[in-house]
Amino acid sequence: MHKIQILGTGCPKCRKLAETAEKAATQVGLDYEIVKVTDLNDIMDYGVVVTPGLALDGKVLFTGKVPSVDEVTRMLRKAAGK
């Protein structure tokens, strides 16, 4: 099972990213769970200073924006080797 981490404090953009990531992961056919990382110190441990961010299995894929479902689908597919 893959772990998709949403890195952000819970703002509207972070919530939108969680929705987008869920749709994209379903399209890719990933077996996944979404984990919301909201503590600023934990977010900074990922090397992220601009939220929201998205990581797959601890590897940060992007930060500072909410990409489209298609963009996230491509990123997840590449990162998961699908």
- Residues classed as catalytic: 11, 14
d(CA 75, CA 38): 22
d(CA 78, CA 82): 6
d(CA 35, CA 54): 10
